[in-house]
Chain A
Amino acid sequence: MVDAFFSSGGGRDLSLKDKFLEFNWGFLLLLFAISSMGFAMLYSVADGSFDPWASRQMVRFAIGIVILFVAAFVDIRLWMNLAYPAYAGALVLLVAVEFIGFAGMGAQRWINLGIVQLQPSELMKITLILALARYFHGLTHEEVSRLRNLFVPAVLLGAPVALVLKQPDLGTAVLLGAVGVALLFLAGLAWRYFIIAGVGALAALPIAWNMLHDYQKRRVFTFLDPESDPLGAGYHILQSKIALGSGGLFGKGFMEGTQAHLNFLPEKHTDFIFTMLAEELGLAGGIALLGLYMMVLFFGISVSLQTRNQFGRLIAMGVTINFFLYICINVAMVMGLLPVVGVPLPLVSYGGTAMLTLMFGFGLLMSVYIHRNMEITRNPSAFW
């Protein structure tokens, strides 16, 4: 039974040694490089001190690496079997946060599990990918586009999005929705569904608008015209743009950013850390970070293309897209291209849950990479 659990779906088991040999160490170095830029910025935010942010972020990164290894060395088929239970667990937590969670930054997002404080919505980002990948792994190309087969993914996606929206956390809801939709797309769902959904979404926009909270509406207004209220809500976007612009090509120098250090920048250790980086290290520093990010994305996409099982392919792309969306939304936000939503810059922004879930996600990606040549039957749930 146990043996079957681990080896369900066929394919040859890999030894620990094989896994070590297959592990992509270069990718780990890449993550370390990105995180290090984060450490440097957190050191700068604290006016040249590891305390309180940089040191803790380093500890989290170290823990994250452990998680990454564990996740990477777990057999991909085990992940497949764990996909639904993990999703169910995350969903339960997400419901629980409604009742026993506590508020941070004006939204009900946190749950206290004794020793750790957890954001179930972060966990959901990974488990949703697992669940959807698991589901679509079992469908043929034809089956994917059948209407009756859309019910399950619609529930898998809709439930967490609705719960997160209720918290309210628009940023995470958008991220979850976008990752889910991308997975549907990658799974091969016919184009017509996307066209219909697009038209439907446009039509529903006014209704959705009315359901937004006041502060969310204000953020959108502010985004549309930041200069309208330079001392009010638009202040953050304006100050962020000033910080970026004044950075110039090579920046004001490490720890020399006036906008950041004189507190004109809001949330500079979390959501606006990219602004600070670009102020102190300039366009060069910003592009360097984006370059490193792109290498991660490239790695993720190439893993997905090499992988010979649909579950792994979807996981790899899901993790990559999630990562990409984080970057894109955060950077676009600080440059005034998107409204201010609470999305951190992955691996760089200070924050425990985000760091750990990301590393977990990369662990899955690495697991996919290690098991990329493993072929898994479409319906491995025979034993289940």
Chain B
Amino acid sequence: MLMDGKDNVRYKTFSRRAALIGGLQFAAFTALASRMYYLQIIKSGEYTMLAEENRINKRLLAPLRGEIVDRFGEVLVSNRQNFRVMLVPEQTPHIEATLEKLSRIVPLPDRQRARIIKDARTSPSFLPILVAENLDWETFAEVNIHEPDLPGIVPDVGDTRHYPYGPDLAHVVGYVAAVSEKDLEGKDDPLLKLPGFRIGKSGIERELDQELRGRAGASHVEVNAYGRVIRELAKDPGVPGAQVSLDMEVQKLATERLRGESASVVVMDIYNGDVISIVSAPGFDPNDFNIGISQKKWDALLNDPYNPLLNKSIAGQYPPGSTFKPVVALAAYESGMIDPNQKVFCTGKYSLGSHDFHCWKKHGHGAMNMHDAIMHSCDVYFYEVAKRIGIDRIEAMARRFGLGDTLGFEVPGEKKGFVPSQGWKRATRGEPWHQGETLIAGIGQGFLLTTPLQLAVMTARLANGGKAVTPRIVRKVGSELAQNGPLPDLGFSQSGLALMRKAMDSVSNVPGGTAYRSRITEAGMELAGKTGTAQVRRISRAERESGVLKNEDLEWRQRDHALFIAFAPVDAPRYAISVVVEHGSSGSGTAAPIARDVMKKVLERHPQREIAMRRSNEWREG
């Protein structure tokens, strides 16, 4: 069959039109290619930027809070993984149902559930909300396993502050806790608004909060279209931590020795002020505050008669008792009104007008010079000396030793203590000063109040030749090493100081000294101390006559405070210590043995300390 003419026409038409369509197709492809060229070459820069903006989310991630280490690099405060569960509202069809399912794995009290639902309503639906945190590994693993059945639930690992030593360091390093409304006032650090962010609330955590917290920003994460983080592109390397002068080994021993007591130990270097150990007992677990303390635990802490929340080392104020006697003696020595060799005869009591002042030794010490009066802690001698030199000389001397005022210590919350004077009494009470008050001030009682830290500083100044040393604990923040300039001289009489040191040596190392039983016997490690037993109740005349009640027969609150101060080694002093045991009954019986044990440990570790110090000095110079 041949094509007829009519077929020929329609084939020609077809071919013409097919060519036209082919041409149109080519034109269309050219247009598409041009459009591609436009988008991918001409506008490429712009779109590349947009793609990066899509991909990269400048997410405010809290930098890892700086660690705190002790003098030897032992980690005192660190960060550990915090297993938590988040909820992304937009990824779940029904929040309540999801939470209900989750609560079979993670217990969710109604109050917490209400909080989550409220958060979900008020924040953008793609932002994760904290559901529960600090889960244990088993629970967290179970949530992970059930994740497919829990739409919107995102298991997540964050960082949380960890205090491995718990109560042992609670007061000195402090703790972190959630940011409160008050913390936000006048602050514009965006980190503070991060959900779950913690700031330092007490101790060094608070003092160095800014430094340990680090700066916000600069953390880039890759996110997908739903805002879920795919990977972290760059994270701030974390904040360089801080080093403190503490020696955790000493701290541990001191804590152990104070177990069961309401007490404080402060040990410091008498030349540079480095605090080697500072313990306030009992402690509390700072981890509780980080996680959010339960009402029950909080009430228990508040109602504990041993007051675990008080940092007794810096905020506990106690009459110094007989530990104050070297100060009075030096005031007398410098006044020139007392010859240290002149003897005062102690019969066991001292009469002023119609009032009798008693010595702790009921039948008296006999004739006492200044050295012996300190060695035996004779009260009558100091009544006499105090009466002669007057309260104002005592006050002035006490202040030179750092009493009656804060010392600028880095741990917040220092109390001033109190040193009375004639002027003070007249101004605030409108009453004249009574001589009897001078007498009891002479034995460290009455209005006088000191903190354990002040007692340690007082001892240090006595031992270091009268240099105005102040305590410090932060050695290094990041790479900044704390530096002390030369210490100002307090202008004490060196012969007077030598006499005091000699007398304190006798207290500990000469038979008959009040702390002889608690001496250090290792050669070269001997300490020189001074006991103190501060009365907290008034002893009535009737009781005095019928026989003073023994401490064991009194209820805890009525017992005397036990105090002890010391420096060591006695021949070349380097460290000072103060021990205060609330209602510990007896300075020589309770406080001195603690001081001995702690000081021995300090001295044993002294060579290592020296090595560590030399190393850090070399590092600093290099």
Give bound CA distance, A187 to B11, whole Å: 9
Closest-by-CB residue of A relative to B28 is A328
Question: Which residues in chain B, 222-245, are within 8 Å of chain A measured between CB atoms?
Answer: 222-226, 230
Closest-by-CB residue of A relative to B230 is A262
* Residues B17 and A287 in contact, CB atoms below 8 Å apart: no
Q: How far is the CB of B138 from chain A (nearest CB, A)?
A: 31
Residue B145 lies at the interface, judged by CB distance under 8 Å to chain A: no
Residue A31 lies at the interface, judged by CB distance under 8 Å to chain B: no
* Residues B35 and A188 in contact, CB atoms below 8 Å apart: no
Given contacts A264-B225, A335-B35, A377-B1, is CB(A242)–CB(B22) below 8 Å? no
* Residues B39 and A241 in contact, CB atoms below 8 Å apart: yes
The interface size of chain B toward A, counting residues with CB under 8 Å, comes to: 44
Residue A140 lies at the interface, judged by CB distance under 8 Å to chain B: yes
Residue B3 lies at the interface, judged by CB distance under 8 Å to chain A: yes
Question: Which residues in chain A, 227-272, are within 8 Å of chain B measured between CB atoms?
Answer: 239, 241-249, 258-259, 262-264
A-B contact count (CB 8 A): 151
Residue B539 lies at the interface, judged by CB distance under 8 Å to chain A: no
Binds A, one of B42-50, B62-70, B321-329, B502-510: B42-50
Given contacts A182-B21, A245-B46, is CB(A258)–CB(B55) below 8 Å? yes
Residue B40 lies at the interface, judged by CB distance under 8 Å to chain A: yes
Give chain A's interface secondary structure class: helix
* Residues B223 and A262 in contact, CB atoms below 8 Å apart: yes
Q: How far is the CB of B308 from chain A (nearest CB, A)?
A: 51
Residue A305 lies at the interface, judged by CB distance under 8 Å to chain B: yes
* Residues A321 and B21 in contact, CB atoms below 8 Å apart: yes
* Residues B36 and A375 in contact, CB atoms below 8 Å apart: no
* Residues B25 and A245 in contact, CB atoms below 8 Å apart: no
* Contact string against A for B residues 6-25, beta-carbon threshold 8 Å, 1 for contact and 0 otherwise: 11011101110111011001
Residue B490 lies at the interface, judged by CB distance under 8 Å to chain A: no
Residue A86 lies at the interface, judged by CB distance under 8 Å to chain B: no
* Residues A301 and B22 in contact, CB atoms below 8 Å apart: yes
Given contacts A317-B21, A324-B25, is CB(A305)–CB(B32) below 8 Å? no
Give bound CA distance, A248 to B3, whole Å: 53
Which residues of chain B are within 8 angstroms of A258 by Cβ–Cβ distance? 51, 54-55, 222
* Residues B50 and A332 in contact, CB atoms below 8 Å apart: no
Q: How far is the CB of A245 from chain B (nearest CB, A)?
A: 2
* Residues B21 and A375 in contact, CB atoms below 8 Å apart: no
* Residues A248 and B224 in contact, CB atoms below 8 Å apart: no
Which residues of chain B are within 8 angstroms of A297 by Cβ–Cβ distance? 22, 25
Give bound CA distance, A332 to B44, whole Å: 18
Give bound CA distance, A305 to B222, whole Å: 54
Q: How far is the CB of B611 from chain A (nearest CB, A)?
A: 53
Q: How far is the CB of A277 from chain B (nearest CB, A)?
A: 11
Which residues of chain B are within 8 angstroms of A140 by Cβ–Cβ distance? 6-7, 9-10
Give bound CA distance, A301 to B19, whole Å: 8
* Residues B17 and A188 in contact, CB atoms below 8 Å apart: yes
* Residues A245 and B55 in contact, CB atoms below 8 Å apart: no
Binds B, one of A218-226, A278-286, A351-359: A278-286
Residue B41 lies at the interface, judged by CB distance under 8 Å to chain A: yes
Closest-by-CB residue of B relative to A238 is B50
* Residues B41 and A249 in contact, CB atoms below 8 Å apart: yes
Q: How far is the CB of A8 from chain B (nearest CB, A)?
A: 12
Which residues of chain B are within 8 angstroms of A102 by Cβ–Cβ distance? none
Give bound CA distance, A188 to B6, whole Å: 12
Q: How far is the CB of B185 from chain A (nearest CB, A)?
A: 35
Which residues of chain A are within 8 angstroms of B33 by Cβ–Cβ distance? 287, 290
Residue A14 lies at the interface, judged by CB distance under 8 Å to chain B: no
Residue B298 lies at the interface, judged by CB distance under 8 Å to chain A: no
Which residues of chain A are within 8 angstroms of B222 by Cβ–Cβ distance? 258, 262
Residue B29 lies at the interface, judged by CB distance under 8 Å to chain A: yes
* Residues B26 and A294 in contact, CB atoms below 8 Å apart: yes
Which residues of chain A are within 8 angstroms of B523 by Cβ–Cβ distance? none
Contact of A375 among B2, B29, B41, B224 (CB under 8 A): B2
Q: How far is the CB of A255 from chain B (nearest CB, A)?
A: 14
Residue A85 lies at the interface, judged by CB distance under 8 Å to chain B: no
Which residues of chain A are within 8 angstroms of B22 by Cβ–Cβ distance? 297-298, 301
The interface size of chain A toward B, counting residues with CB under 8 Å, comes to: 55
Residue B37 lies at the interface, judged by CB distance under 8 Å to chain A: yes
* Residues B18 and A259 in contact, CB atoms below 8 Å apart: no
* Contact string against A for B residues 603-619, beta-carbon threshold 8 Å, 1 for contact and 0 otherwise: 00000000000000000
* Residues A188 and B226 in contact, CB atoms below 8 Å apart: no
* Residues A262 and B54 in contact, CB atoms below 8 Å apart: yes
Contact of A188 among B1, B13, B32, B39 (CB under 8 A): B13
Q: How far is the CB of B249 from chain A (nearest CB, A)?
A: 52
Given contacts A242-B54, A310-B14, A375-B3, is CB(A248)–CB(B36) below 8 Å? no
Given contacts A244-B36, A262-B54, A263-B224, is CB(A304)–CB(B41) below 8 Å? no
* Residues A186 and B14 in contact, CB atoms below 8 Å apart: yes
* Residues A10 and B1 in contact, CB atoms below 8 Å apart: yes
Give bound CA distance, A27 to B21, whole Å: 21
Residue A176 lies at the interface, judged by CB distance under 8 Å to chain B: no
Which residues of chain B are within 8 angstroms of A142 by Cβ–Cβ distance? 6
Which residues of chain B are within 8 angstroms of A166 by Cβ–Cβ distance? none
Closest-by-CB residue of A relative to B9 is A141
Which residues of chain A are within 8 angstroms of B28 by Cβ–Cβ distance? 324, 328
Residue A5 lies at the interface, judged by CB distance under 8 Å to chain B: no
Closest-by-CB residue of B relative to A300 is B22
Residue A313 lies at the interface, judged by CB distance under 8 Å to chain B: yes
Given contacts A248-B40, A286-B36, is CB(A186)–CB(B18) below 8 Å? yes
Give bound CA distance, A310 to B9, whole Å: 11
* Residues B44 and A246 in contact, CB atoms below 8 Å apart: yes
Give bound CA distance, A10 to B2, whole Å: 11
Contact of B18 among A245, A278, A290, A317 (CB under 8 A): A317
* Residues B50 and A246 in contact, CB atoms below 8 Å apart: yes
Question: Which residues in chain B, 278-321, are within 8 Å of chain A measured between CB atoms?
Answer: none
Give bound CA distance, A313 to B47, whole Å: 44
Given contacts A241-B39, A244-B39, A262-B222, is CB(A310)–CB(B55) below 8 Å? no
Given contacts A141-B6, A310-B7, A324-B25, is CB(A305)–CB(B40) below 8 Å? no
Closest-by-CB residue of B relative to A265 is B225
Contact of A263 among B10, B43, B44, B225 (CB under 8 A): B225
* Residues B3 and A242 in contact, CB atoms below 8 Å apart: no
Residue A337 lies at the interface, judged by CB distance under 8 Å to chain B: yes
Which residues of chain B are within 8 angstroms of A301 by Cβ–Cβ distance? 18-19, 21-22, 25
Question: Which residues in chain A, 313-331, are within 8 Å of chain B measured between CB atoms?
Answer: 313-314, 317, 321, 324, 328, 331
Given contacts A308-B3, A317-B21, A375-B1, is CB(A335)–CB(B14) below 8 Å? no
Given contacts A182-B21, A188-B14, is CB(A294)–CB(B55) below 8 Å? no
Q: How far is the CB of A309 from chain B (nearest CB, A)?
A: 9
Residue A71 lies at the interface, judged by CB distance under 8 Å to chain B: no
Give bound CA distance, A264 to B2, whole Å: 60
* Contact string against B for A residues 71-97, beta-carbon threshold 8 Å, 1 for contact and 0 otherwise: 000000000000000000000000000
Residue A144 lies at the interface, judged by CB distance under 8 Å to chain B: yes
Which residues of chain A are within 8 angstroms of B230 by Cβ–Cβ distance? 262
Which residues of chain B are within 8 angstroms of A321 by Cβ–Cβ distance? 21
Closest-by-CB residue of B relative to A284 is B40
Residue A193 lies at the interface, judged by CB distance under 8 Å to chain B: no
19 contacts between A and B (CB under 8 A): A11-B1, A140-B10, A141-B10, A188-B14, A241-B39, A243-B51, A245-B51, A262-B223, A262-B224, A262-B230, A263-B224, A263-B225, A264-B225, A283-B36, A290-B33, A304-B18, A305-B15, A314-B14, A377-B1
> 10 closest A-B pairs (Cβ-Cβ)?
A245-B47, A246-B51, A141-B10, A263-B225, A262-B224, A188-B13, A283-B40, A246-B48, A140-B6, A141-B9
19 other contacts beyond A263-B226, A331-B32, with CB at 8 A cut-off? A186-B17, A242-B51, A243-B47, A244-B39, A244-B40, A246-B52, A248-B41, A263-B225, A264-B224, A264-B225, A278-B40, A283-B37, A286-B40, A301-B18, A313-B11, A317-B21, A324-B28, A335-B39, A376-B1
Report which A residues bind B (CB closer than 8 A): 10-11, 140-142, 144, 182, 185-188, 239, 241-249, 258-259, 262-264, 278, 282-283, 286-287, 290, 293-294, 297-298, 301, 304-305, 308, 310, 313-314, 317, 321, 324, 328, 331-332, 335, 337, 375-378
